[in-house]
Copies of this chain bind each other. A is one copy, B any other.
Amino acid sequence: MALIVQKFGGTSVASTDRIKSVAKRVARWKAQGHDMIVVPSAMSGETNRLIALAREISALPDPRELDVIASTGEQVTIGLLSMALKEEGVKAKSYTGAQVRVLTDDTFTKARILRIDDEKIRRDIADGYVVVVAGFQGVDENGNITTLGRGGSDTSAVALAAALKADECQIYTDVDGVYTTDPRVEPDARKLDTITFEEMLEMASLGSKVLQIRSVEFAGKYKVKLRVLSSFQNEGEGTLITVEEDRPMEQPIISGIAFNRDEAKLTILGIPDRPSVAYQLLGPIADANIDVDMIIQNVANDETADFSFTVNRGDYTRAMDILEGAVDRLGARGVLGDNRICKVSAVGVGMRSHPGIASKMFSALGREGINIKMISTSEIKISVVVDEKYLELAVRVLHKAFGLDKAE
């Protein structure tokens, strides 16, 4: 008998029929003797509908009031799911974030969880209830309703699992686990049985949108066993996201190939090579609220450098405008840009102890004639920027080169 937190995403509760299916699933776990906490998202489309209503009223909706509105999506689902559980003969009780309470800071629309009061939930579980808690929402210390931002229900589930020291936090979604890469790009992609938190963070931030990245950080920090499963299949163990020490001894060096299409590259040429030049260049970019991903500086000769960085493709034009306006002030020679690039990364904790991964990666790409435009490395990840047209080819070549198509 274990204490399990199960989180169901918007597609898993998209209709009353699907909510009934979720209730049946939860009832089966409960019948096996487990204590259950369930965290549903809003029915898919509902949060967007609510935000669209707000935007009809105001181009820049007041954030406090936006949270009052947006939080109703999950509030409807917890009521419906609790009813559906009762129809399955299971005692169930719903709680909004404010009722639990899930205490957050007061950063409306992207609040952070500070503390979870577990008293009511513990009491209800002791009384045999399945407790259904609204994801995505909380309350600040003044009683104002807050929301955690997109994907926040994952974070709610992990935070509840941490606060109640649950044995496992299961995230049910429309995929059956974490894959070695996107199966739509590489049909031979395999589902991973386990992945480490660090690898998952790199995969998630690179565009494998299975889990909200903050929830993975949270799970890693509080050592919550996190499992990704499909809510549309009844079998399968999904993928367990865990700390490195808990993994089987023999693990592949590379766990997966991640990629991101939405990249653009900017280069400022012949910039005088003096201290603080990076700040002078990137300060205005940050001020414009543009996230910079990879940054590379090459010394072109003794006195000047070329400076390249990547941004989200949607920010390309604005970033270009800012750079062009800075050329004269910085005494640079000019600006280049390329918004037809993508990023492909090999991710794996095994590369810490295995040298030569980078050269293996570069040679595999080189054999296919794929030109590498930028390189960036971290302890467990090697990323390359290549021409957008090579994305699928690069992913497949690397997937095969690291043996990810073979059974573990």
Contact = CB atoms under 8 A, between A and B. Distances in A.
A210 to B, nearest CB: 28
B96 A68 contact: yes
A207 to B, nearest CB: 33
Nearest to A67: B79
Nearest to A52: B16
Contacts of A118: none
A62 interface: yes
B94 A57 contact: no
Among the interface residues A20, A69, A99, which one has the most CB atoms of the partner chain B within 10 A?
A69
Interface SS majority for chain A = helix
A98 interface: yes
Q: What's the number of copies of this chain in the assembled complex?
A: 2
Contact of A78 (B66, B68, B94): B68
A404 interface: no
A76 interface: yes
A140 to B, nearest CB: 11
A102 interface: no
A24 to B, nearest CB: 12
A16 B75 CA distance: 22
Contacts of A16: 53, 56-57
Interface string A76-96: 101110111011000001101
A233 interface: no
A86 to B, nearest CB: 5
A94 B76 contact: no
A70 B20 CA distance: 19
A84 B57 contact: yes
Contacts of A276: none
B65 A53 contact: no
Contacts of A61: 83
A58 interface: yes
B57 A87 contact: yes
A317 to B, nearest CB: 29
A35 to B, nearest CB: 20
A375 interface: no
A73 B54 CA distance: 14
A83 B99 contact: no
Given A57-B19, A75-B72, A62 B50 contact: no
A69 B43 CA distance: 13
A87 B65 CA distance: 13
Interface in A1-56: 16, 19-20, 50, 53-54, 56
Nearest to A71: B75
A252 interface: no
21 contacts: A16-B56, A16-B57, A53-B76, A53-B80, A54-B79, A54-B80, A57-B83, A58-B83, A58-B87, A61-B83, A62-B82, A65-B79, A68-B96, A69-B76, A71-B75, A72-B72, A72-B75, A96-B145, A99-B143, A99-B144, A99-B145
